[in-house]
Amino acid sequence: MEAITAVAQDPESDMDCSDNEGFDDYDYYNATEDNDIEQVDPSKTDPEHFEYECLTEEQVERLLNETVEILSNNLQITPSLAKVLLHSHSWAVTSIISKYRSNPDNLLINSKVKPVTTPSTSSTCSRYMTCPVCVSPQVNERFFSLSCLHSFCKDCWTTHFEVQIGQGISTAISCMARECEVLAPEDFVLKHLSRTTMREKFQQYSFQDYVKSHPELRFCPGPNCQVVVRSRELKAKRSVCCQCKTIFCFKCGMDYHAPTDCLTIKKWLTKCADDSETANYISAHTKDCPNCHICIEKNGGCNHMQCYNCKYDFCWMCLGDWKAHGSEYYECSRYKENPNIAHESVHAQAREALKKYLHYYERWENHSKSLKLEAHTLEKLKARINQKVMSGLGTWIDWQYLFTAAALLAKCRYTLQYTYPYAYYMETGPRKELFEYQQAQLEAEIENLSWKIERAETTDRGDLENQMDIAEKRRTTLLKDFLDV
Partner 1 sequence: MAALPRRIIKETQRLLQEPVPGISAVPDDSNARYFHVIVTGPEDSPFEGGLFKLELFLPEDYPMSAPKVRFITQIYHPNIDRLGRICLDILKDKWSPALQIRTVLLSIQALLSAPNPDDPLANDVAELWKVNEAEAIRNAKEWTRKYAMDN
| DSSP per position, 214-248 | -TTEEE--STT---EEE-SS-SS-EEE-TTT--EE
Instruction: State which residue, 86 or 156, has the beta carbon closest to partner 1.
Output: 156
Measuring CA to CA, how many Å separate 194 from each of 69, 190, 202, 330? Answer: 26, 8, 12, 68
Determine the Cα–Cα distance for residues 237 and 37; give it in Å rounded to an integer.
25
| DSSP per position, 53-79 | EEE-HHHHHHHHHHHHHHHHHHHT--H
* H helix or E strand, kind and range, residue 129: strand 128-130
| Residue at 46: amino acid letter | D
Tell me how far, at minimum, the Cβ of 159 lies from partner 1, in Å. 5
Instruction: State which residue, 172 or 389, has the beta carbon closest to partner 1.
Output: 172
Tell me how far, at minimum, the Cβ of 169 lies from partner 1, in Å. 10
Contact present, 435 and 423 (Cβ < 8 Å): yes
Cite the beta strand spans of 177-335 per DSSP E. Answer: 217-219, 228-230, 238-240, 247-249, 286-288, 295-297, 304-306, 313-315
- Which positions lie near partner 1, rule CB under 8 A? 132-136, 150, 152, 156, 159-160, 163-164, 176-180
Tell me how far, at minimum, the Cβ of 211 lies from partner 1, in Å. 23
Instruction: State which residue, 184 or 279, has the beta carbon closest to partner 1.
Output: 184
Determine the Cα–Cα distance for residues 403 and 407; give it in Å rounded to an integer.
6
Write the burial class of residue 437 (CB in 10 Å: 0-12 exposed, 13-18 middle, 19+ buried): middle
Q: Give helix 196-213 / helix 79-88 axis angle, nearest 10°.
A: 40
| DSSP per position, 144-183 | E--TT---EEHHHHHHHHHHHHHTT-STT-B-SSTT---B
Query: Which of 340, 354, 352 is CA-nearest to residue 278?
Result: 354
Tell me how far, at minimum, the Cβ of 87 lies from partner 1, in Å. 18
Tell me how far, at minimum, the Cβ of 195 lies from partner 1, in Å. 15
Tell me how far, at minimum, the Cβ of 146 lies from partner 1, in Å. 13
Q: Which long-range contacts (CB under 8 A, 24 or more apart) does 240-244 make?
A: 241/54, 242/54, 243/54, 244/220
Between CA 401 and CA 408, with CA 406 as vertex, the angle to 5 degrees is 95
Cα-to-chain-centroid distance, residue 157: 40
Tell me how far, at minimum, the Cβ of 429 lies from partner 1, in Å. 37
* H helix or E strand, kind and range, residue 143: strand 143-144
Tell me how far, at minimum, the Cβ of 191 lies from partner 1, in Å. 18
Q: Which amino acids are annotated catalytic?
A: 302
Contact present, 206 and 171 (Cβ < 8 Å): yes
- In DSSP terms, which residues pair with 288 in a beta bridge? 295
Between CA 234 and CA 408, with CA 435 as vertex, the angle to 5 degrees is 70
Tell me how far, at minimum, the Cβ of 109 lies from partner 1, in Å. 19
User: Other C-beta atoms within 10 Å of 217: how many?
Assistant: 19
Q: Which residues contact 161 (CB under 8 A, 6 or more apart)?
A: 173, 184, 189, 192, 193, 198, 202
